[in-house]
Amino acid sequence: MKKYIITSLVIVLAVSFWNCEKDDICAQETPTTPRLIIEFYDAANPTELKNVTNLGIAEPTFETGYAFNAVSSITIPLRTNQDTTTLNFVLNGSDEDATNDLTDVVTFNYSRIETYISRACGYKTTFILNDTDGLVIPTSNWISSYEIVQTNINNEDETHVKIYF
């Protein structure tokens, strides 16, 4: 009888450990939703990177956003719940003087693909910029032109958009 009880306990323990999963911790190196990489170039010399000074980027309905200073490359997030992200790119927008601000409204149009990573990490969204209207700038106050270099935004290892000013 004692032999049956011990065997039953061993079987119950084995089955309970069999159903266990590893800890639900999302590892640091797990790929997440990529941000858009933008590089700035000199409009007069299109092959030369150009630092942008006091660049403020915010959604039109927000008062706060991202501030960049003396950089030629930036990363910005796109909305994961819509197929469009509209942002104000404000040259001199991250300084205290609002009288010298030059604003261009930039709209990114894309499709989204959600990929399940794991229970701990959730979903990863990748983006595909539209071929015809992936980027729309209705008026140019400081941005001269742009070029979509990579329509698939699935990592942060390469430039997706070049902006010339």
Residue 13 has pLDDT above 60, yes or no: no
Q: Where are the domains of the chain?
A: 30-164
Cα separation, 107 vs 109, whole angstroms: 6
9-22 burial, b for 16+ CB within 10 Å, e for fewer? Answer: eeeeeeeeeeeeee
Q: How far is it, in rounded angstroms, from Cα 62 to Cα 51?
A: 25
Tokens of 114: 């959600």
- What value does the mean pLDDT of the chain take? 88
Indicate if the pLDDT at residue 95 is higher than 80: no
Rounded distance, CA 122 to CA 112, Å?
Answer: 16
Mean pLDDT over 114-119 rounds to: 91
Residues 6+ apart with CB under 8 A from 81: none
Confidence at 93, pLDDT banded by 50, 70, 90: confident
Give the separation between CA 42 and CA 15, rounded to whole angstroms: 65
pLDDT tens for 121-154 read 899 999 999 988 999 999 889 999 999 999 999 9
Residue 163: beta bridge partners?
A: 40, 146
